[in-house]
Structure 1
Amino acid sequence: MTASDETPVYLAADCGGTNCRVRLFNEDGALLSEGLGGPSNASLGLEPVLSEVFRATRNALARLNGATIPLSRLHAGLAIAGLVEEERRQEFLRIPHPFASMTAETDAFVAQLGAFAGGDGGLLITGTGSCAFAVKGDKKFYLGGWGFPVSDQGSGARLGHLAVRRALQAYDDILPTSPLCKKILAEVGTHPPEVSGWARTAKPADYGALASTVIEYAVKEDEVARSLVRTIAEEVNQMIRSLVRRDVKEIHHIGGFAEPIRPWLDKAHGRYLAKPRGDVFDGALRLINNRTGLINKTGKARE
């Protein structure tokens, strides 16, 4: 495969609060390569998102064993967490890019497209952030996904945020302490002024990074950790119940925080959980091939 080869190459990207994952496929759908970038939630701004997409893409291109593919040969389909605000969506339609074509939708939309092969069903994402999206006939609807400060219930970032607050309450002797509280303070600042300073610049991914610690201590029977995890699990339960009330028959639960929180969820919800037909990258390929979602028709920027 050389720079003169004109066969299309497809770029599928999963842009989330923790990282940006990119996979390259040939026209037959075979995986060619993959690469990784940093946090790429739309709340950070579209230029930072595309910067991480470019970084992950170049990482993937560098792994092609000597093959040379310019960015201008790539048809990009992006699943972008937090791409919900109309202003941000309109910005996407105008932003310059170096690809042959570029289309995008929210990560939930694209993952649902992949999980149900374009058919009906509900998609619940719990990762650094959270969101649900469902398709039922000609109806489509979102739950949550409005950003960390006001939404993201049942997410890793929300669990990490609760843990930091709870650790400070223990430090101030408002509530009892525990090994988890001491561990959290050791991670973000021993004294409240240090924690406050950390929080001023902390991003959702920074809070989300603490979620695994809370789960670890919950498994160790730390009662504070268990209480926090139960709180977050109930938030996930609420989202599942909301999908069920809308008569969604099948729900696929994905995201980096899906497996850790699953043992804490209402067992009755298991009957709604569906086996996916594909993943977010399959959805991104459908996004490209079906010309679905936001289609950027702006002239190309230099590579």
Structure 2
Amino acid sequence: MSQYVIGVDAGGTKTTAQAFLLPDGTPLSVTTGAFGNVTVDFNEGLAHIIETTDALIEQTDGTCAFLCVGCAGVETGDKKARMQAALNAHYPELSVFVTNDAALALYGALKGADGVLVIAGTGSIGYAKVGDETFRAGGWGHLLGDKGSGYSIVIDAFMHITRAFDTRNPDTPLVRAVFDALGITELRALIDFTYKSTKGEIAALMPLIERLSDEGDEECQSILNDAADALADLAILLCRQNNLSAVAVSGSVLTKCKRVFDRFSRTLHEQIDGVTIINEPFDARRGGFYFYQTR
């Protein structure tokens, strides 16, 4: 009977699980369920992960040899140990490994090889893989880190706007564009939006900053340059600490914003000898297959 590995990517909005045939990793069935981020609700997130995994096992021919769950928020407090214990109890016949979603993506992006992954979406984080060990840099949340993220970029733009009002020079392309996008006319309304909105709602304005930069606005170009430099710092730190030269990227800030990626890439080529930058789509769930291969 054939055997397969399951990789589960449990995020804040959905949980997806996929089976990969052994020994070559051929993709098999996929199932999707509700959110699996255990910081939202531990019991409900865990239940969604189990429901999604059970559905996949039921529809996949063969025997599952290994279950790898990459879960957002799992390293907060004792959640990883609790989830590992719960999954071990629910799947007593399986070898189960619990990690965070970024580490799962790291293995998926690098296909199990050693290297660095820098993720820049709403938040940002850097991860390095050396053998069977992983190391992180950044990703400490919007108050302590996440520089170079979509959220950070927009907050930097808002700070430029408040500075424009402080210096009595509020008639700038950035002020006009942000006020138009939010349908506001006063700085007080921008302050209210900033403190009442989610990180995702704020980060959603990042394409506006990119558009202004593409149109030649030097203020927005400077903001994006700073973001690229912050992300490059993560990669350079991890490469130098671990003697690595392969860097993969993920997240819309790096994969979709040309200015950020080009400056990030140029800086890495200047600072890391023989660096290889991997900017191509990858399946984080396949990270479960590579975890199985390297464990």
Quick one: structure 1 residues 37 and 218, their matched pair in 2 at CA, closer, same or farther if it must change by over 3 Å?
farther
1-structure distance, mates of 2:116, 2:173: 38
Write out per-residue CA displacement over residues 193-220 of structure 1, whole angstroms, 9 at most, x where no aligned residue.
Answer: 4333333342222222121221111111
Structure 1: 5+ residue runs without aligned partners?
A: 1-5, 293-303
Aligned residues of 2:84 and 2:98 also touching (Cα < 8 A): no
Q: Who is 1:253 aligned against?
A: 249
Q: Who is 1:272 aligned against?
A: 275
The amino acid that maps onto 1:206 is E
Write out per-residue CA displacement over residues 147-186 of structure 1, whole angstroms, 9 at most, x where no aligned residue.
Answer: 2221111111211222233233334545554223222233
Does 2:209 correspond to 1:217? no
Aligned residues of 1:167 and 1:177 also touching (Cα < 8 A): no
1-structure distance, mates of 2:193, 2:293: 44
Q: Who is 1:178 aligned against?
A: 172
> TM-score, normalized by length of structure 2?
0.73
Aligned residues of 1:117 and 1:278 also touching (Cα < 8 A): no
The aligned runs of 1:1-303 (5 Å cut-off) are 12-15=7-10, 19-20=13-14, 22-25=16-19, 27=21, 29-33=26-30, 35=32, 44=40, 46-47=42-43, 49-50=45-46, 57=52, 69=59, 77-93=68-84, 100=91, 103-137=97-131, 140-173=134-167, 176-188=170-182, 190=184, 191-246=186-241, 247-259=243-255, 260=257, 261-265=260-264, 267-270=266-269, 271-275=274-278, 279-287=283-291, 289=292
Quick one: structure 1 residues 82 and 155, their matched pair in 2 at CA, closer, same or farther if it must change by over 3 Å?
farther
Matched residue of 2:125: which SS? strand
2-structure distance, mates of 1:91, 1:167: 45
Aligned length: 275
Matched residue of 1:265: which SS? helix
1-structure distance, mates of 2:275, 2:230: 17
Quick one: structure 1 residues 99 and 189, their matched pair in 2 at CA, closer, same or farther if it must change by over 3 Å?
farther
1-structure distance, mates of 2:265, 2:3: 45
Quick one: structure 1 residues 256 and 78, their matched pair in 2 at CA, closer, same or farther if it must change by over 3 Å?
farther
Structure 2: 5+ residue runs without aligned partners?
A: none
2-structure distance, mates of 1:120, 1:22: 25
Pairwise CA RMSD:
3.9
Question: Relative to structure 2, which stretch is displaced further, 109-118 or 97-106?
Answer: 97-106
Instruction: Kindly indicate which of the two structures has a greater share of residues assigned to helix.
Output: 2
Quick one: structure 1 residues 226 and 82, their matched pair in 2 at CA, closer, same or farther if it must change by over 3 Å?
farther
Aligned residues of 1:229 and 1:264 also touching (Cα < 8 A): no
Aligned residues of 1:12 and 1:78 also touching (Cα < 8 A): yes
